[in-house]
């Protein structure tokens, strides 16, 4: 449940039916007592809302820290992939897994409001995936990732890629225990996206400027977009790339290799 945007954990029971061959980690709604009352029923509603948000984020942070200790103890590089819907997260994952699957142990956690479509695409590459369906929830939370990791059982010295729900707002607030947030920003979006959603771009360590192959067919100004991103977060490491053609993917793979600490190159 997110008190910032008002999403909640209600969803159809059908969302909890796992597709064949997949582990499904359902969204667990907060107890009714933990949900915010209506504004009309709260005489000091601003104070109550702030206190509730602090409690929710504090609980999430405690579990995220536990996840992080688990990953660090096993040398698992956990990355939280975030973007607006349609920016190309799953296609990027497919290309990355296809190119690196033979050289790395990789696991994937897929977050979507509904369906197991993306997890099925990931599984087709030969990589194990766990699907989380959040129902009306607009982001993943640390406890969901904790339960997914219990099912996935990623190996030591491996890469864990977490594809968050497509949303550039709430995922910026919720730490999952990842080592870094990776924001995917496509050339089919506006150059001012980092200025409109500064919290996400500030929270990210890496920016992947995706769908570079479509640049000749758009009015997108890549230099201006990257300048906007660096104005919001000067420390962003940016990789313009195309998962379709493979352009720029080697730089992304080199960054992964450095973070994992591999002694030999990885890639196709």
Residue with tokens 């005489």: 43
**For residues 239 and 249, what is the distance between their CA atoms, to the nearest angstrom?**
8
| 267 band by pLDDT with thresholds 50, 70 and 90 | very low
d(CA 140, CA 152): 16
- Mean pLDDT, the chain, integer: 86
Confidence category of residue 50, pLDDT binned at 50, 70, 90: low
Name the CATH superfamily for 20-27+42-260: P-loop containing nucleotide triphosphate hydrolases (3.40.50.300)
Give the pLDDT confidence score for residue 12 in this predicted structure. 39
- Hey, what are 232's tokens? 């919001």
Give the model's pLDDT for residue 25. Answer: 54
Tell me the domain boundaries of the chain.
Answer: 20-27+42-260
Q: Can you give the pLDDT at residue 148?
A: 98
Helix or strand run (H / E) with residue 32: none
pLDDT above 60 (res 39): no
Task: Give dist(CA 231, CA 236) in Å, integer.
Answer: 10
**pLDDT 10s digits, 190-231:** 999 999 999 999 999 999 999 999 999 999 999 999 999 999
Predicted pLDDT of residue 234: 98
Angle formed at CA 183 by CA 179 and CA 189, multiple of 5 degrees:
180
Structure tokens at 52: 């509730």
User: What is the model's pLDDT at position 47?
Assistant: 65
pLDDT of residue 7: 64
What pLDDT, in 10s, does the model give residues 134-161?
999 999 999 999 999 999 999 999 999 9
Q: In whole angstroms, what is the distance from residue 153 CA to residue 148 CA?
A: 8
| Residue 66, CA atoms < 13 Å, CB-side half-sphere | 15
Q: What is the mean pLDDT of residues 57-82?
A: 96
**Can you give the pLDDT at residue 153?**
97
- What is the average per-residue pLDDT within 110-116? 97
DSSP state of 30: P
Asked if the model's pLDDT at residue 14 lies above 50, the reply is no
Residue-level pLDDT at 48: 63
Q: Is pTM beyond 0.85 here?
A: no
Rounded Cα gap, residues 140 and 113, in angstroms: 10
Q: Tell me the chain's radius of gyration from C-alpha atoms.
A: 19
> Beta strands of 106-158 (E only): which ranges?
106-112, 128-133
Q: How confident is the model at residue 13 (pLDDT cuts 50, 70, 90)?
A: very low
Range with the poorest average pLDDT among 23-32, 195-204, 252-261: 23-32
Provide the pLDDT for residue 2: 57
């Amino acid at each position: 449940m997110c008190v910032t945007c008002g999403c909640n954990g209600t969803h159809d029971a059908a969302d909890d039916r796992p597709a064949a061959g997949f582990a499904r980690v359902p969204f667990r709604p907060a107890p009714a007592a933990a949900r915010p009352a209506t504004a009309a029923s709260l005489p000091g509603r601003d104070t109550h809302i702030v206190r509730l948000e602090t409690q929710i984020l504090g609980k999430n942070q405690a579990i995220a820290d536990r996840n992080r200790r688990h990953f660090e103890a096993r040398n698992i590089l956990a990355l939280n992939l975030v973007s607006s819907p349609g920016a190309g997260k799953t296609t990027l994952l497919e290309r990355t897994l296809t190119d690196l699957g033979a050289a790395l142990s990789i696991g994937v956690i897929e977050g979507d409001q509904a369906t197991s479509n993306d997890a099925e695409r990931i599984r087709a590459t030969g990589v194990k995936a766990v699907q989380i369906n959040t129902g009306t929830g607009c982001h993943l939370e640390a406890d969901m990732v904790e339960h997914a990791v219990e099912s996935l059982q990623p190996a030591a010295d491996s890469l864990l890629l977490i594809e968050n729900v497509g949303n550039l707002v709430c995922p910026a607030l919720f730490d999952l225990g990842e080592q870094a947030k990776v924001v995917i920003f496509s050339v089919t979006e506006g150059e001012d996206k980092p200025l409109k959603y500064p919290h996400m771009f500030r929270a990210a360590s890496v920016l992947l400027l995706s769908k570079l192959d479509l640049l000749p067919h758009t009015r997108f100004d890549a230099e201006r977009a990257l300048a906007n991103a660096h104005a919001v977060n000067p420390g962003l490491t940016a990789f313009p790339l195309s998962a379709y053609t493979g352009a720029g993917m080697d730089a992304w793979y080199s960054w992964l290799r450095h973070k994992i600490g591999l002694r030999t190159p990885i890639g196709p």
